[in-house]
Structure 1
Amino acid sequence: MEIAAFGVEEWLNEWEKEAIYDIAGSSIDSLTLRDILEIGGASQAAFLEDLWAKKMNYGWIEGSPAFKEEVRKLYQNVEVSQILQTNGATGANHLALYALIEKGDHVISLYPSYQQLYDIPRSLGAEVSLWQIREEDAWLPSLDDLRAMIRPNTKMICINNANNPTGAVMERPFLEELVAIAREVGAYILSDEVYKPLDTRFDVPAIVDLYEKGISVNSMSKTYSVAGVRVGWVVANDELSNLFRKYRDYTMICAGVVDDALATYVLQHKEAVLERNRSIVAENLNVVKDWVKHEPRVSLIDPSAVPVSFIKLDIPEETETFCLRLLQEKGVLLVPGNRFDRPGYARLGYCTQTETLKKGLTLLSECLRQYD
């Protein structure tokens, strides 16, 4: 099969290790293994003793009962039978698409978004319509556009909520209208929800809690700051979950007993992690807002308390060329917007360590001054 090169991953794979000030990433400042153990306080010793005794076999194929129970608590109307552990959210997205999409199907995908959501369906022979986000609508797409695009044979609508790269979020009223449109033709909705907003002012239910044909994907990578624990999950109705089980046997056996144990431990202490991460998001977003206010060549539609943002650059130079020079001259890494089919913009991952962010923004401004 043919598949397009993964634009963002190609860029990061090539340049990430050369960055001194990496403000391109999409996770909240990653926890160390020591950090993970310390969040549990008195339970740390018991966790380690249990870990030392684990046999390095395949473990629980679909995820341990303790892991599934913690994931179940993240949803309103989900049973453990509906939860399948995957190798990250990428594994979950791939599984759902691999199991459901066939040649000739019609798929609608939010665009730009995570590239899996439109290029995997294309590679499987589906006809993919791109549901464009709009800067003038705070980077949300138009539901009227969706109504015009949807067909009686539309098989699936793919979204990521909040959006990567912009940080825009579809809240409950928008999602309810989206579900009504999908339900009219019986289309599935695959929702990559790894960037769920950390600010409780945003009402963003999981799609599986809103729609009987909703498929929710999440992972430990973004909100929970442990991308090195390669654990994600997919949640759907029992009929879909049973279908995914069959296809999952061809894509993975298990996520690994150590990763499962660490993921479970983090989820058991998620409130401590979320409190830490809310603080990072709030502080660093204020840093970015203040910087934008004083940087005449940059504008920004604020992200919705998630770790990605999409800055607009007022420069007379091709974006990728500028971003590469910024890295080579200043050691600062951004993701150029053309990797999302949006030249003139760049993804700014602002939830790194605060001092790294401040220094990176200062050096970015220095590079922008050459155009004044």
Structure 2
Amino acid sequence: MDINAFGVEEWLNIWEKDTIYDIAGSSIASMTLDEILDLNPAGREELMEILLAKKMDYGWIEGSPEFKEEVAKLYTTVRPSQILQTNGATGANFLALYSLIEPGDHVISLYPTYQQLYDIPRSFGAEVTLWRTHEKDNWLPSLDELRQLIRSNTKMICINNANNPTGAVMDKVFLEGLVAIASKVSAYILSDEVYKPLENGLDVPAIVDLYDRGISTNSLSKTYSVPGVRVGWVVSNDDLANRFRKYRDYTMICAGVFDDFITTYVLKHRKTILKRNQEIVSRNLEIVKNWVAKEARVSLIFPRHVSTSFIKLDVPEETETFCIRLLKEKGVLLVPGNRFDMPGYARLGYCCQTEVLEKGLEKLSEFLRAYD
């Protein structure tokens, strides 16, 4: 089996620790363990006693009953039996693809998107057709184009909703159109849903709640601000969950006793976290909008209160070279768009700490003035 290098992860592995102003990431400002414990200040001492008394065995293999109960509350049609704990959403996506995709299968993947969703099927021997997004359509793809791409033997359609890197969102009406197309050929839809939009009035259901052959993956890493707990989950119908159980035994045993406990605690207090994060997203997005309005060399299709954005750069220089010089000279980290096969763009992770964003944008503007 051969597979391409993972462009974004390779870039971050090389450069992330050299940055002063990290505005490349796609999580919402990560919480400290102290902040997590303070989600319920009155119960902090009791929580520490529970943690210290935890026996460091394998714990619950599929995730504790409490974990599954909290995850089930994120959906409208899901029972705990349909939920499997994984090593982040990355592990959830891999499990679904490993369990279902075989040589010769036809897979359609949104593009650009998280590289897993098209390169893992290719590495398994599938034929992958790219379903391209369009900047002129606010980075959404076309359902009419999907109708032209789908085949009678299409096994799976892979999406990432909201989208990484653009922050574009497929709403309920769009998703219903997608399901109608997939259902005609009984194709699965794998939907990476780690970027929950934090926008009031925007109806974005999980694919598992819309379609029997829908597979939803998620984790604590983005919307819930706890990437340091490497816990995710995959949710599907019962038949698929049973299939995933068999393949899961070959990829992981458990996520870890502490990981499960902290994840469950975070999900129990998700309303507090989501309120915190709505404030961060709203405040920081307004800063980005004001900055773009004043920055002649940058344009942006603004994301829908999602923690990732994709700026277009008007510079006479290869994008990755530009980003390396920006980091070395100004300490500012972006992800160059060529890591998504989109030269001329860069991922701007604007949901970092607000002061980091402000200083990072200031330094980026200083750097851009060299081209004036």
TM range (shorter): over 0.9
Give, in whole Å, the separation in 2 of the partners of 1:364 and 1:210.
42
Query: What does the per-residue CA deviation read over 1:78-109, in whole Å, with 9 as the maximum and x for residues that have no partner?
Result: 00000000000000000000000000000000
**Where does structure 2 lack aligned partners over 5 or more consecutive residues?**
none
Q: Establish whether residue 164 from structure 1 lines up as the match of residue 164 from structure 2.
A: yes
Q: Establish whether residue 174 from structure 1 lines up as the match of residue 174 from structure 2.
A: yes
1:270 aligns with 270
1:29 aligns with 29
Return the offset for 1:145: 0.6
Give, in whole Å, the separation in 1 of the partners of 2:251 and 2:103.
20
1:76 aligns with 76
1:221 aligns with 221
Give, in whole Å, the separation in 2 of the partners of 1:47 and 1:61.
22
2:166 aligns to what SS in structure 1?
A: coil
Q: Establish whether residue 239 from structure 1 lines up as the match of residue 239 from structure 2.
A: yes
Matches within 5 A, 1:291-330: 291-330=291-330
Give, in whole Å, the separation in 2 of the partners of 1:3 and 1:269.
39
Return the offset for 1:200: 2.4
2:4 aligns with 4
1:195 aligns to what SS in structure 2?
A: coil
Return the offset for 1:43: 2.4
Give, in whole Å, the separation in 2 of the partners of 1:366 and 1:49.
50
Return the offset for 1:201: 1.9
Query: What does the per-residue CA deviation read over 1:122-148, in whole Å, with 9 as the maximum and x for residues that have no partner?
Result: 000000000000000000000011000
Q: Establish whether residue 198 from structure 1 lines up as the match of residue 179 from structure 2.
A: no
2:49 aligns with 49
**Where does structure 1 lack aligned partners over 5 or more consecutive residues?**
none
2:188 aligns with 188
Q: What amino acid sits opposite 1:24 in the alignment?
A: A
Q: Establish whether residue 284 from structure 1 lines up as the match of residue 278 from structure 2.
A: no
Give, in whole Å, the separation in 2 of the partners of 1:133 and 1:13.
27
Return the offset for 1:44: 2.0
Q: Establish whether residue 151 from structure 1 lines up as the match of residue 151 from structure 2.
A: yes
Q: What amino acid sits opposite 1:232 in the alignment?
A: G
Return the offset for 1:54: 1.1
Matches within 5 A, 1:12-161: 12-161=12-161
Query: What does the per-residue CA deviation read over 1:9-42, in whole Å, with 9 as the maximum and x for residues that have no partner?
Result: 0000000000000000000000000000001222
Q: TM-score normalized by structure 2?
A: 0.99
Return the offset for 1:49: 1.5
Give, in whole Å, the separation in 1 of the partners of 2:63 and 2:96.
17
Return the offset for 1:45: 2.2
Q: What amino acid sits opposite 1:142 in the alignment?
A: S
Give, in whole Å, the separation in 2 of the partners of 1:315 and 1:202.
35
Query: What does the per-residue CA deviation read over 1:164-214, in whole Å, with 9 as the maximum and x for residues that have no partner?
Result: 000000000000000000000000000000001011221100000000000
Q: What amino acid sits opposite 2:207 in the alignment?
A: I
2:345 aligns with 345
Return the offset for 1:51: 1.3
Return the offset for 1:369: 0.6
1:331 aligns with 331
1:359 aligns with 359
Query: What does the per-residue CA deviation read over 1:338-364, in whole Å, with 9 as the maximum and x for residues that have no partner?
Result: 000111000000011111101100110
Q: What amino acid sits opposite 1:96 in the alignment?
A: A
Return the offset for 1:46: 2.2
Identical amino acids, percent of aligned pairs: 73
Query: What does the per-residue CA deviation read over 1:43-95, in whole Å, with 9 as the maximum and x for residues that have no partner?
Result: 22222211111110000000001000000000000000000000000000000
Q: How many residues align?
A: 372
Q: What amino acid sits opposite 2:105 in the alignment?
A: D
Q: What amino acid sits opposite 2:319 in the alignment?
A: T
Give, in whole Å, the separation in 2 of the partners of 1:102 and 1:200.
40
Query: What does the per-residue CA deviation read over 1:232-269, in whole Å, with 9 as the maximum and x for residues that have no partner?
Result: 00000000000000000000000000000000000000
